[in-house]
Amino acid sequence: MSFRVAMPGAPAVTMVTITLDGEKVEARRGEPVAAALVGGGHLALARSPKFHRPRGPSCVRGACDGCLARVDGVPNVMTCLVPCDEGTEVVSQNTLGSREVDFLRVTDWFFPQGMNHHELFAGVPGVQQVMQAFARRVAGLGRLPKSAAPARAAQRRELDVLVVGAGPSGMAVALAASARGRSVEVVDEGLAVGGGALALANDERAPFRALLAAFDAAVAANTIRLRLRTPATGIFGADVLVAGPEGAEVLSARATVLATGAHDGVLAFEGNDVPGVMSARAGGFFLGHGALVGKRIVVVVPDGGGPFGEAFARAVTAAKLPCELTLVRGEPVRVGGASRVKSVVVRDAAAASGERTLKADALLVDAERAPAYELAEQVGAKLVHAPRGFVVATDDGALAPRFWGAGELVGTPFDAEALRREAEALAARL
Ligand code: FES
């Protein structure tokens, strides 16, 4: 059961009330809706589109479908990327019944080996038509809003330096380029700057504090332009399409730096999709918002993983939070539970004792991350497939004419000093 905790030194917040399926949930104004829901004890937020298995947030960076809901009438909103305001209305979707009791879950029980709905009863007169009508009715996610927002034409703009991503690497590059007199604009899909640093609670964030403060000051002084909730959605030639609250724009920069970071490592094990299983980075992010993901938390750090799992464990211990936490250096083997985590089977890297079963209500996995390579691929960067995912192959950060990569995208460690040095070197070559 997830719940709210008071983290030492947390800034003052303004509380608002949002609703989840009509139930009131206390929230902090401006925090991601998913954080408020998790803090309010709601981990199962969505249902999978076909088998209607319960889903919960697992990435908190717009990369899974575990937090999808209808928000203020708009379907399929990633609730980890929208802020809470007074009266924000969240409605679960894709259920017959309720979020907790979805009668369409029987699909999963009837077809334990999977089901190809395209061929189900195909060619059986009468039954085929009934099945197709039923499948059309229950398939997909959400219902369209009653009215569509008016279309707005994309604007076209030229600029000097564009940085995609406001995590530590993007901030460091923006500051370094700005210090060299370049005019810099930064776009990020999130609600706040900081990227992975936001998943480090309290003292764990200390190595990045100077960077965060310098970037905030540069934005406040208008020496760097920042646009949040504005993802870069595609690149064609030198054009970068961004879309945010100000509308869509096609940006063409003299130099574009992709600082898109890395995806959480996802491991294949039984029950890895049960609500309560998430990346350690997501667990740390929620903790930074004062939401603890469980009362019995197992943190697993496989070989090559880190640093978020151990940082989470240290932060929980230092703050003396009311939970039982087990840190395992090894592999998750299996999760017990259907709609929430009830137990975790793990294999310790060092122990010769084999597997052990732990009672748990949340599992945080800090597996080796993989570069968020998608935009780099669109500019023609060379990709190499590795066990953890696609890796961008570049020696000096150059991806293509006018495009550069920085940070975890190009293999730079998630380390404040390493990112600062990389940014200085890169800014000199832009
Ligand atoms: S997309 Fe929101 S938690 Fe993954």
Q: Is 85 helix (H, G, I), strand (E, B) or coil?
A: coil
Q: How many CB atoms lie within 10 A of CB 94?
A: 25
Q: Is the CB of 80 under 6 A from ligand 1?
A: yes
Whether the Cβ atoms of residue 163 and residue 232 lie closer than 8 Å to each other: no
Q: Is the CB of 78 under 6 A from ligand 1?
A: yes
CATH class as words, domain 274-369: alpha beta
CATH class as words, domain 155-261+372-429: alpha beta
Give the single-character DSSP code of 10: P
- List CB contacts of 173: < 8 A, sequence separation 6 or more: 163, 257, 259, 406, 422, 423, 426, 427
pLDDT tens string, the chain, 430 residues long: the values are: 889 998 877 788 899 999 999 999 999 999 999 999 999 999 999 988 877 889 999 999 999 989 999 999 999 999 999 999 999 999 998 887 777 777 777 777 777 777 776 677 777 888 877 777 777 666 667 788 888 888 889 999 999 999 999 999 999 999 999 999 999 999 999 999 999 999 998 889 999 999 999 999 999 999 999 999 999 999 999 999 999 998 999 999 999 999 999 999 999 999 999 999 999 999 999 999 999 999 999 999 999 999 999 999 999 999 999 999 999 999 999 999 988 999 999 999 877 768 999 999 999 999 999 999 999 999 999 999 999 999 999 989 999 999 999 999 999 999 999 999 999 999 999 9
33 Cα: distance to centroid of ligand 1 (angstroms): 11
Instruction: Please report, for the chain, the start and end positions of each structural domain, with discontinuous segments joined by +.
Output: 3-112, 155-261+372-429, 274-369
Whether the Cβ atoms of residue 182 and residue 428 lie closer than 8 Å to each other: no
Q: Is the CB of 60 under 6 A from ligand 1?
A: yes
Q: Alpha-carbon distance 133 to 130, whole Å?
A: 5
**Cα 341–Cα 59–Cα 203 angle in degrees, nearest 5:** 95
Whether the Cβ atoms of residue 402 and residue 382 lie closer than 8 Å to each other: no
Name the residue with the closest Cα to ligand 1, atom 1: 62
Pocket test for ligand 1, best of 38, 61, 266, 286 (most atoms within 8 A of CB): 61
For the CA of 59, the closest atom of ligand 1 is 4
- pTM for this predicted structure: 0.93
353 Cα: distance to centroid of ligand 1 (angstroms): 35
Domain 3-112 and domain 155-261+372-429 have a common topology: no
Q: Alpha-carbon distance 293 to 286, whole Å?
A: 7
Q: Is the CB of 63 under 6 A from ligand 1?
A: yes
Q: Alpha-carbon distance 85 to 31, whole Å?
A: 9
For the CA of 64, the closest atom of ligand 1 is 4
Q: Alpha-carbon distance 250 to 309, whole Å?
A: 38
68 Cα: distance to centroid of ligand 1 (angstroms): 7
Q: Tokens standing for 307?
A: 């640093």
Q: Is the CB of 93 under 6 A from ligand 1?
A: no
Pocket test for ligand 1, best of 58, 272, 277, 279 (most atoms within 8 A of CB): 58
What sections of 221-301 are H helices per DSSP? Answer: 280-288
For the CA of 62, the closest atom of ligand 1 is 1
352 Cα: distance to centroid of ligand 1 (angstroms): 36
Q: Is the CB of 54 under 6 A from ligand 1?
A: no
CATH number of 3-112: 3.10.20.440
Q: Is the CB of 59 under 6 A from ligand 1?
A: yes
Whether the Cβ atoms of residue 286 and residue 198 lie closer than 8 Å to each other: no
CA dihedral 170→176→181→182, nearest 10 degrees, is: -30
Q: Alpha-carbon distance 371 to 190, whole Å?
A: 18
